[in-house]
Structure 1
């Protein structure tokens, strides 16, 4: 791939990294008090509150999975920068409306609309992937992934402080302000050379896959993305309860659980750029397989820990692997598709990721209800083992040959 001479991809990387940081923070700002806001909207009773809280959380990912292919097609026709602007502005407007919601049905509909209009981070990945020299794409995409992770780590802390200081509804307006800032920053600072494609000249879904030299490999990468998210999400619903089980009666359960929940994110910040750079040298497929195996080695002992700090140490190691796997998949995707269809390939990958985000917590909750908390880690390890074998089958036997610059 030849980078356009008047496109400063390093500056674009820096700007969209900030955009991913802001959108990651904006999304997670409201997470700490979503159940409280659901309760404020009139939902009472333990069972009903849990049901509606789960619905308003998962419906965003469900509608994102449905909408991503459409936005990916539009990105290939109109450009990735336009999709970044559409996403930031649309999500900002929806956040404002959420602050004015009067009942749970309005809030549920707006959470669904948020999923429809989202997609800043996958479009940022597509933009950078099609501009950066491909022999540096592992490092670039690994670095970019730290933006969303950083925002997601800081968002809950800031959101909790803001909610305590100003109330729940004002946090939605503050979040909207962050997204509007992201919109204007993208509008004026991100550069893209893109020639619009007429709709009649666009390839349909079947033709998109016909352009791929290894369509089965790309489909396998989609499945790998989904399973990575299933494994990540399966632990989320039971983490606080598991910490309580192994720690006994401690006064600062919320703090300890929050710390343990955040540890993988900090590890991913450290590992993603470094392992991405290593992947550029030895091949992202080797990084992906190695980190899947490493995840299994780390997950199994989690089922047998006796203290929260043992769990925290193991989750730090798991975060090292998590920080490398999705950027490795994205690098392999850009190795195996053309810029003409990159937007749709990344959007399909996002759809599989969202499916994993929805199904992972359901798996973890179901296993915990039937077999106990410790079984969740063993089942998750088995899922990752399947992913490692599956990925090795279609990846590891192939030589690492990134396309020429």
Structure 2
């Protein structure tokens, strides 16, 4: 088997374990904070927000530094750093004795960020260019599959084995990811020496379309922002639609997870289609579809209607991030790819931090339904900005 195909299989497994690890912890962080001695409603809300956001805040700051190091030393080294670092820090979280220790460890975990973006960059740089859309689309299904399975596995362990066990098993999974990366992934490293490393503005001066690259950064932030803006109000909105339904937790979990199922189906197929007709066209179509679906969600009357619309939204989600990353690879050189992906990851984490704040604020002031309207408006503005950037690309095929 060709080396790049082995890499895709190996990195897919690594992304699956990373998605699994993250998603089987995050839903239960508030419960763990409470177990560590925080009991009042106000304090529990504040500390849950802090321990959740600490990782993303630190990650958004250090991601460009890791991207620079990836250009100099290779991306496999970054994958090893991220997987082993997460294994160690997550294991330590399972032994935290108070919320202050947990907060510090969650912040420290931000330094271990970068497995999935570096995996994307490694695969994108190794596969034939005419297969990059398919490869990145296929790779994205690894994380999505992990995110779908994670809450189910984490919930089972939390109920039957205790919350601390969830952290320890998660750490073990990340160590498995480290071993897969160490022994199976092969990289043809095209490193850049420190003396030849471009600085700051010079990175963007090497790009043929710097405005497009920045628009893609904003799009990455918006993808995360729009998804996470819905998260804080989704269960409450479903409760408002369903009334006093005894299966509220199950219904909410199903509706929260269903976009992942359709994204899993769509991502490799849309990536392959993008290779044929142009990645830019796939990206714009997915964004327009997202706008329409968010608008319609504002008018749903039943949880079933919301679930169907979120399932359809998953098809757009399956196209968005792989398409952005494919275009980033296409319009940046090997010399700066690591830093471009590092900057892109910073914008992704900023979306994770800002999204829940926007969703909660709009909901508090205007109500649940306006969150969907406001989200659609933000995607529309981003779509216009991205269209302007793609319109300047030659040829106008925008692939």
TM class by smaller structure: over 0.9
Alignment of 1:314 with 2:309, yes or no, is yes
Alignment of 1:153 with 2:148, yes or no, is yes
Contact 1:7–1:193 at 8 Å: present in 2 too? no
Contact 1:272–1:324 at 8 Å: present in 2 too? yes
Alignment of 1:400 with 2:391, yes or no, is no
- Give 1:224's aligned residue: 219
- Note the alpha carbon deviations across 1:56-113, whole angstroms, 9 max, x for none: 1111111111110010000000000000000000000001110111111110111111
From 117, 133, 138, give the equivalent of 2:112.
117
| SS across alignment from 1:100 | coil
- Give 2:335's aligned residue: 340
Superposition CA RMSD, Å: 1.3
| SS across alignment from 2:132 | helix
- Note the C-alpha offset of 1:14: 0.8
Unaligned runs of 5+ in 1: 1-5
Distance in 2 (alpha carbons) for counterparts of 1:67 and 1:230: 20
Task: Trace 1:364-383 onto structure 2 (pairs within 5 A).
Answer: 364-383=359-378
Contact 1:86–1:117 at 8 Å: present in 2 too? yes
- Give 2:21's aligned residue: 26
Distance in 1 (alpha carbons) for counterparts of 2:245 and 2:122: 47
- Note the C-alpha offset of 1:339: 1.2
| SS across alignment from 1:200 | coil
| SS across alignment from 1:107 | helix
Distance in 2 (alpha carbons) for counterparts of 1:348 and 1:257: 34
Q: How many residues align?
A: 397
- Note the C-alpha offset of 1:195: 4.9
Alignment of 1:37 with 2:32, yes or no, is yes
From 56, 62, 66, give the equivalent of 2:61.
66
Alignment of 1:99 with 2:99, yes or no, is no
- Give 1:47's aligned residue: 42
- Give 2:196's aligned residue: 201
Distance in 1 (alpha carbons) for counterparts of 2:136 and 2:102: 34
| SS across alignment from 2:38 | coil
Contact 2:133–2:322 at 8 Å: present in 1 too? yes
Distance in 1 (alpha carbons) for counterparts of 2:54 and 2:272: 35
- Note the alpha carbon deviations across 1:27-47, whole angstroms, 9 max, x for none: 111123111100011111111
- Note the C-alpha offset of 1:211: 1.5
Contact 1:7–1:191 at 8 Å: present in 2 too? no
Task: Trace 1:223-372 onto structure 2 (pairs within 5 A).
Answer: 223-372=218-367
From 188, 203, 221, give the equivalent of 2:183.
188
- Note the alpha carbon deviations across 1:179-210, whole angstroms, 9 max, x for none: 11110111000001215443222221222112
| SS across alignment from 2:16 | helix
- Give 1:3's aligned residue: none
- Give 2:75's aligned residue: 80
Contact 2:33–2:48 at 8 Å: present in 1 too? yes
Distance in 2 (alpha carbons) for counterparts of 1:99 and 1:396: 50
Contact 2:212–2:386 at 8 Å: present in 1 too? no
